[in-house]
Every structure is written in C-alpha cells, then in structure tokens.
C-alpha cells in the first residue's frame, strides 16, 4: 500500500515511516523540513496539502503533524488534511491525545466525552470533531505519553538527574512505547481498515511521571535517587487520565506492551548492540 505520513521528520513520524517501510509499504513522508528523501509540506496551506495528496495519491495517510503552540498547524492543518483525504479517497489515521479527556480516577474508554482544559487540548478536540464530521473512512487514535530512546520524557529524566527540575508524582498517565504506537498506527492504516471512529492506543500501566522516570532511569543507567519529586499544584491539564485501550487491543494484531516490559526490551537490545 502507498502511505503518506505527515510530520514525517518528527520523532513519532520517523518511527511510523520506519515501521511502514519494514512492513513492505510504499511510504512518502512530508513535513516542512523533509530532507532529501521526503516531500515538503506545510499543512497550514490548504492548497499545498491538496497538491501533495493529488501528487502522492496515497491509499492512507497517517497524520502526526502538530505544534502545541500553534493552532494553525494543529487544527487548521488537520482540517486541510481531512478535506484532502476526502477529495482523493484516502483513509485517514489521525493522532490525538489523552489530554482532551477530563481528569478522573476511573479508566476512560472511547465513550467518555472530551473536556479539554488547555489550548492544546482544545485544538486536538477540534481536530477530532473535524475528522468525525467529514470522513467515514478514518480513525482518530488517542494516545498518552510516548516513550522510548530519544523521547522528550527520556530527555526530561536525564535533565532532572543532572539537577534540573523534578518529576511530578501526582500526574497519572498511561505511557506507551513509540515502537508499539507506530506499529499500531501502520496497522490501522493498512490491515485494520475496518476500524473507524475513536481508538485508544496506550499502555495498560497507569503511573505517575515520577514512577515513569524511575523506570527510565533504571534502564538508562541513571541514579533513581537523583530524581526528586514535585507536585503538579495548579498546573493546567488533567491530573489523571487512565486511557482504556481495550477496544484497540481486541481489534489489532499489534500488542501494546506494558511500558516496563517495553523499556526493558529496549535496554536489552541497546546493550546487545553495544
């Protein structure tokens, strides 16, 4: 199959491209700075998005492009992608976030309505609504903290271990390894084309950012004692989001591993390679 990946030079996007190519698909990646093997695309430009889709003619598009600080990239860009997919008949797999959901101790499945409390979460909720309103052949994938070597959370843990800041022990999420998320996105774009609507793809372990940091430190050779604890206080966004990924787990071949297992496997591979 022919796939187009927006945000293809971003951290998640690069992993999606690799996973799709490893599965034997014809992959085109697009971004504002694509490099020699990609296509330049600014999703804020609707005409440019349409030209790209008409040129590439993908069977499916995996949309990972976003900017937490820019409504135009996140929301207007998604509207342009939605319109383009509708015009060329491409399936859309759009990545969203657990931050659109309300804070609650109970697990949240796809029936829990959005209740965004930050500008970024509101932008992503608008993206979800745009996809649902305009496309039948589409799935919006809500995920949580995405981890793996090179992730922002790994970088944060290294910074905290070096004496910069602390990690919150009262902010609960369901981290997922980037390899598992990427494999699920590719499967949804290619093999699992019957899955539509909303799908939660996150790890089965709910944990605080501090507990996640301790896991990362253990596998990165850092001293866990150098990771101080902080409280989120009145920080914006939900304090606790436990994504229930039962639906996706029942429909996909891809196994989303508990984050502790995934990080341990990554550490083993890195040690063997070194």
> d(Cα 157, Cα 223) in Å, to the nearest integer?
10
Q: What share of the chain is helix, strand, coil (3-state, %, to 5)?
A: 45, 20, 40
pLDDT at 268: 76
- For the segment 110-165, what is each residue's pLDDT rounded down to a tens digit? 999 999 999 999 999 999 999 999 999 999 999 999 999 999 999 999 999 999 99
- For the segment 231-264, what is each residue's pLDDT rounded down to a tens digit? 999 899 999 999 999 999 999 999 999 999 999 9
pTM of structure: 0.96
Cβ pair 98, 175 in contact under 8 A: no
Burial class (CB in 10 A: 0-12, 13-18, 19+), 156: middle
- For the segment 180-228, what is each residue's pLDDT rounded down to a tens digit? 999 999 999 999 989 999 999 999 999 999 999 999 999 999 999 999 9
Per-residue tokens: 134: 């305009």
Cβ pair 105, 240 in contact under 8 A: yes
Per-residue tokens: 239: 């304090």
Give the DSSP letter of residue 131: H
2-273 folds as: Rossmann fold (3.40.50)
Q: Nearest to residue 60, comparing CAs of 26, 12, 106, 37?
A: 26
- For the segment 75-99, what is each residue's pLDDT rounded down to a tens digit? 999 999 999 999 999 999 999 999 9
Q: Chain centroid to CA 19: how far?
A: 14
> Per this entry, what is the length of the chain?
274
- For the segment 9-31, what is each residue's pLDDT rounded down to a tens digit? 999 999 999 999 999 999 999 99
């Amino acid at each position: 199959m022919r796939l187009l990946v927006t945000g293809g030079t971003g951290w998640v996007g690069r992993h999606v491209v690799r996973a799709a190519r490893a599965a034997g698909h014809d992959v085109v990646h697009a971004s504002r700075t694509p490099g020699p093997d990609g296509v330049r695309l600014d999703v804020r430009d609707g005409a440019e998005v349409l030209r790209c889709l008409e040129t590439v003619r993908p069977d499916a598009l995996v949309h990972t492009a976003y900017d937490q600080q820019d409504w135009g990239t996140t929301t207007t860009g998604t509207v342009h992608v939605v319109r383009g997919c509708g015009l060329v008949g491409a399936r859309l797999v759009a990545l969203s976030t657990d931050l659109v959901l309300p804070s609650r101790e109970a697990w949240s499945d796809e029936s829990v309505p959005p209740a965004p409390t930050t500008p970024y979460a509101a932008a992503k909720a608008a993206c979800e609504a745009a996809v649902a309103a305009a496309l039948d052949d589409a799935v919006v994938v809500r995920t949580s903290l995405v981890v793996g070597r090179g992730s922002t959370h790994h970088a944060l843990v290294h910074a905290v271990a070096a004496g910069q800041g602390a990690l919150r022990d009262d902010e609960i999420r369901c981290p997922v390894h980037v390899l598992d998320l990427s494999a699920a996105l590719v499967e949804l774009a290619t093999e699992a084309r019957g899955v539509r609507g909303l799908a939660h793809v996150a790890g089965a372990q709910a944990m605080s950012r501090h507990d996640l940091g301790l896991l990362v430190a253990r596998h990165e050779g850092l001293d866990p004692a150098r990771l101080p604890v902080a409280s989120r206080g009145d920080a914006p966004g939900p304090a606790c989001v436990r994504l229930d990924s039962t639906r996706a787990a029942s429909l996909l071949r891809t196994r989303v591993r508990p984050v502790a297992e995934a990080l341990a496997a990554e550490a083993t591979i890195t040690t063997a390679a070194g």
